[in-house]
Amino acid sequence: MRIITGKYKGRHFDIPRSFKARPTTDFAKENIFNVLVQYVDFDGASALDLFSGTGSISLELLSRGCSQVVSVELDRDHHRFIQDCVKKLTANSQEPTANIIPIRGDVFRFLKSCKQQYDLIFADPPYALKELTTLPDIIFDKQLLKEDGIFVLEHGKDHDFSEHPHFQEHRQYGSVNFSIFTTAEKPGE
């Protein structure tokens, strides 16, 4: 796993073979971030990374200048790996690790009690997660995005969110699919 760009560009982290996580490929990550720069200014933005897995997205967001990244991951080993990566990144710098807040917990419980709004929310749930299709509604019903905020949902090819009122576009990179939602509803909705 590597950080694509930003202040930690090129940093590599070896993911333990025992991990069950399916990290977003570097190819897909680089391409989706090239699209996201059209939607959000990462410098100073607040971000929420749901189903963080290896922390690849959280670390990329931190590297690109987000002022705060909240990373939610249920698996104990994955959570510890994210914490270790953050420590390695900031070990030789004056930068505080407070910019990234790794939380070990269930995403749905976190969302239920969350009171903060974010500029960007990224979710990479297991593709077979039965509640996957409920995530856009939860994000928008709870008003977790700031005005002009963006929600990115990574999913398998079997899901189509194009009829959702906040859907903006779909991107596919190999077998990785991203649906992008914004706080602005589609024209005519």
109-134 per-position pLDDT tens digit: 999 999 999 999 999 999 889 999 99
pLDDT averaged over every residue in the chain: 90
pLDDT interval class at 93 (50, 70, 90)? low
Three-state SS annotation for 109-152? HHHHHCCCCEEEEEECCCCCCCCHHHHHHHHHHCCCEEEEEEEE
150-171 per-position pLDDT tens digit: 999 999 999 999 999 999 999 9
- Residue 189: pLDDT over 60: no
Q: Please give the structure tokens belonging to residue 133.
A: 């299709």
19-40 per-position pLDDT tens digit: 876 677 788 999 999 999 999 9
Helices of type H across 20-178: 26-36, 56-63, 76-90, 107-113, 135-141
Per DSSP, the three-state class of 65 is: coil
- Residue tagged 């990224």 (tokens): 122
